[in-house]
Structure 1
């Protein structure tokens, strides 16, 4: 089965992100590669962010005319904040599947916060990941499950089956499975309710941004 150009453009940044994640997971932390491999995360800004910028005109759902209203944006911010709270609270051992494949601890040799690394990680998680993931999980996969010619699917008409199945796959790539269920359903239902991908992107960005602030403030690196 061949994918349409629209499907490829929504899948390619996600695929690149997963390849870079695998690379970071395989990278040694002892300097054997001759540099601090934590900086590999910066490739997400360059590679994934670059792909999203290059193809930005082909993501019609992110066009200016599809921006949310003030009320929709406020709802997205509120939902994103609630998902962040849920993510922090739903971390009991039985709520986890394995461990993060590429843990990130932005500390220097003296145990002090390495702010350049923190900035790179936070910017990637807040600005790049929400756009990349919502284009793949919600704009593409959720609508594709509803109907393979997904470009013509109105998100407000997506059924329960597509929401549940796309959320299930979303959960498989997140160690905190229960928190991921909450997040996946929240973003999917927000997209369905408003018909605008921007609301899901904003909520996702708020979740990741707030979570990053919490992680740095508490040094709970397991959430990163």
Structure 2
């Protein structure tokens, strides 16, 4: 089999189309998840160039463009049809992110000093001030480029790769692991698909976000079952991440995104 034939075979695989984009996307996050904030890439020194001081400023855009390339490569497999149900998804995105942001908002309202430990930490009642900050750049052009690329990643790429996998693939796969799960219509309800998909979505996030991710994941499952629309889930995720990014910028809570 020639290289071209192998590529075409991969491109025609519906399962790969739903799994590979998120798998590759997560590989880019491994340095931050397992190597203490990408210390292998980072050199925190006044004379260090920006790409060593803040490796996330180039790693995240690279992650986004690779994800976009994979989504385009597998595009024929995605059931992304626009319908009236996307407006319901957008509404639920605003509701879901409200629950996600509530704990850190409570941190401010309660006037807590420092970083709480114990149960408050795992409920997300934290300051969330340390994280991705486009304000590290003095140049306005660099600031806006960083900000636009960050929103592009959060609103477009993350929404697509995650919903295509969690709701487009995993919800089906869990209902017929040994058979042809692609014959199962999108959004078919079952307790196993709800519990596993929502639980896995929650565990894919940091512990501080577990509560918000569980509530948000439950609402997304509800949207999938009610609308039978993958696009509604993608729009829900995009609206949620857009609002989260705006909130992070407005209140300097860069640890949220």
Aligned partners of 2:132, 2:173: CA distance in 1, in Å?
A: 33
Q: Please identify, of 187-196 and 24-33, the stretch whose mean Cα deviation from structure 2 is larger.
A: 24-33
Alpha-carbon offset, residue 54 of structure 1: 1.7
Alpha-carbon distance change, 203 to 109 in structure 1, aligned in 2, over 3 angstroms: closer
The answer for the alignment partner of 1:124 in structure 2 is 153
The answer for the alignment partner of 2:256 in structure 1 is 223
Contact 1:49-1:128 within 8 A present in 2 as well: yes
Match 1:5 to one of 6, 10, 13: 13
The answer for the alignment partner of 2:199 in structure 1 is 168
Contact 2:224-2:230 within 8 A present in 1 as well: yes
Aligned partners of 2:166, 2:137: CA distance in 1, in Å?
A: 38
* TM-score scaled by length of structure 2: 0.75
* TM-score scaled by length of structure 1: 0.85
Match 1:158 to one of 189, 199, 202: 189
Q: Please identify, of 33-42 and 139-148, the stretch whose mean Cα deviation from structure 2 is larger.
A: 33-42
Aligned partners of 1:52, 1:94: CA distance in 2, in Å?
A: 34
Aligned partners of 1:156, 1:220: CA distance in 2, in Å?
A: 34
The answer for the alignment partner of 2:173 in structure 1 is 144
Contact 1:80-1:203 within 8 A present in 2 as well: yes
Alpha-carbon offset, residue 44 of structure 1: 2.2
Match 2:42 to one of 7, 17, 28: 28
In the TM superposition, 1:34-53 aligns within 5 A as 35=51, 36-37=54-55, 38-53=57-72
The answer for unaligned runs of 5 or more in structure 1 is: none
Report the structure number with the largest CA radius of gyration: 2
Alpha-carbon distance change, 221 to 144 in structure 1, aligned in 2, over 3 angstroms: same
Match 1:108 to one of 114, 136, 143: 136
Contact 1:14-1:133 within 8 A present in 2 as well: yes
**2:100 matches 1:67:** no
The answer for the alignment partner of 2:111 in structure 1 is none
The answer for unaligned runs of 5 or more in structure 2 is: 1-11, 105-119
Contact 1:143-1:158 within 8 A present in 2 as well: no
Aligned partners of 1:6, 1:79: CA distance in 2, in Å?
A: 28
The answer for the alignment partner of 1:206 in structure 2 is 239
**2:178 matches 1:133:** no
